[in-house]
Amino acid sequence: MNNGISITNHRNGETYEFNIINSTRGPNAVDIRDFFKKTGMFTFDPGYTSTASCKSEITFIDGGKGELRYRGIPIEELAGKHTYLEVCYLLLNSKLPSPDELLDFDIELRHRSFLHRGLHKLFDAFPDNAHPMATLSAATTALASFYKEHINLTSSDDFNKMAHRIISKIPTIAAFSYRHSLGIPFIEPNIELSFTENFLFMMRAYPGGKMHIDRQGERSIKEIEIKALDTIFTLHADHEQNASTTVVRNVASTGAHPYVAISSGIAALWGRAHGGANESVISQLEMIGSVNNVEKYIKKAKDPNDPFRLMGFGHRVYKNFDPRAKILKKLQDELKSELNLNTELLEIASKIEDIALNDEYFISRNLYPNIDFYTGIILTALQIPKSMFTPIFVIGRTVGWITQWVEFKREEKSKISRPRQLYIGK
Ligand code: CMC
């Protein structure tokens, strides 16, 4: 076979041929869509370690090289150099915006950031100590009932309205979820502020929209904080077919409302093996408590009989380093003096990093600090409470989810996701 692969079943001597589909970058894929039809067998790949579940033009990762690109542009050329909103525009439109396009996009998002009054009541149904991720996921599902118009995906207007609305409302829902968990009044969006500053404003402002001022009369949102959070949003914007994005595509395949698909993505992201890791990193550092205890916990992480894992280490795809983590480590170093980052938590984190990067166990398994290892420390320095770390991941990732949703919907022959199983029961 010229451009394919042959598989021989040594049990019956039969040979089957499969085509290879070429990628533009990274590994090609064997087309096994008719594998069952030809062979009468399924393929077995729990955790999808070798399975490409879709074709995509959005994000590219080379895990060996530690490379991440959005629409072909390396992450290093975007993070901190373009705003998060420019990156959103890039993901949605396959190109960076002109100044005019950016202005229109920004203004539209500001205007769409308010929540329907009916949705405000939903928050009251949750206990005061509800985790903001629970409220965020539920309120995102509820959004589907407020915006249930038919979406015609051949109309870019319909698509844009649907995508822009969810990107702009998620920060408001996240901030309301947080304020509800504290039992304090909601702060409405301020359309005079940029996307990222507005989120910090909705988190921090006093009732009536007054900002805290210090003895020097300085407002409490610093430029450096806005830049750091904006970079964090950019680094989370998309990450190809990770667990939550796969959930979003699977829900999309059933024909459910896009906001319900996003809400399912939020639920999947919450787990500590995925986006929930950023909260777990800080909880783990607090539990370790002192640099003197680090060795003990490294030993636990290496013990095959102990389920303890170092949170913020390891990645399914990156086997060299996580390029997002590299950018954040640099940012963390820059923020050290500006935001008084020299805390005991940072000392513990640095010691873990030093030991792990030189330890045979971690080196042989390609376990490097991932994005969540650094976001926790940076967000703590921005005085953002732990419970909001994963909602912040959600805010950044919403554009990726909705872009992937649209790509799935625009495929000519999209099929419902329906894996098979290897039955081993009675
Ligand atoms: N600490 C100690 N050992 C680890 C860790 C860790 N954090 N991660 C993996 N290992 C070991 C694991 O025990 C296994 O060892 P052995 O070969 O002796 O059995 C080996 O490394 C391979 O692990 P795996 O579970 O097969 O790897 P995976 O690709 O299925 O899992 C992971 C990737 C990210 C779920 C995992 O590394 C992990 O649980 N890390 C901690 C949680 C975390 O930081 N998650 C955030 C990921 S980045 C943000 C995102 O994209 O969501």
Q: Determine the distance separating the centroid of ligand 1 and the alpha carbon of 322, expressed in angstroms.
A: 13
In the annotation, is 111 catalytic? Answer: no
The 8-class DSSP code of residue 46 comes to G
The strand ranges marked E within 10-103 are: 14-21, 29-30, 59-62, 67-70, 73-74
How many Å apart are CA 43 and CA 41, to the nearest integer? 7
Q: Which residues 6+ apart lie within 8 Å of 184 measured at CB?
A: 207
Q: Which residues of 69-83 are buried (b: 16+ CB within 10 A; e: fewer)?
A: bbbebebeebbbebb
Q: Is 328 helix (H, G, I), strand (E, B) or coil?
A: helix
pLDDT (tens place) for every residue of the chain, 426 residues total:
568 999 999 999 999 999 999 999 999 999 999 999 999 999 999 999 999 999 999 999 999 999 999 999 999 999 999 999 999 999 999 999 999 999 999 999 999 999 999 999 999 999 988 999 999 999 999 999 998 766 777 788 888 999 999 999 999 999 999 999 899 999 999 999 999 999 999 999 988 888 876 666 666 788 999 999 999 999 999 999 999 999 999 999 999 999 999 999 999 999 999 999 999 999 999 999 999 999 999 999 999 999 999 999 999 999 888 999 999 999 988 888 777 666 888 899 999 999 989 999 999 999 999 999 999 889 988 889 999 999 999 999 999 999 999 999 988 888 999 999 999 999
With tokens 């539920």, the residue in question is 138
Q: Pseudo-torsion of CA 76, 162, 226, 333, nearest 10°?
A: -30
Per the listing, tokens 């390396």 go with 74
State if residue 310 touches ligand 1 by the CB under 6 angstroms criterion. Answer: yes
230 lines ligand 1 (CB under 6 A): no
- Concerning whether 372 is annotated as a catalytic residue, the answer is yes
Distance of CA 208 to the CA centre of its chain: 32
Write phi, then psi, for 249 (nearest 5 degrees).
-65, -40
Among 33, 36, 1, CA closest to 17: 1
Using alpha carbons, select from 197, 196, 204, 378 the residue that is nearest to residue 278. 378
Backbone φ and ψ of 68, nearest 5°: -140, 125
Kindly list the domain boundaries of the chain, sorted by start residue: 1-41
Among 45, 316, 319, 363, say which to mutate for ligand 1: greatest number of ligand atoms within 8 Å of CB.
316
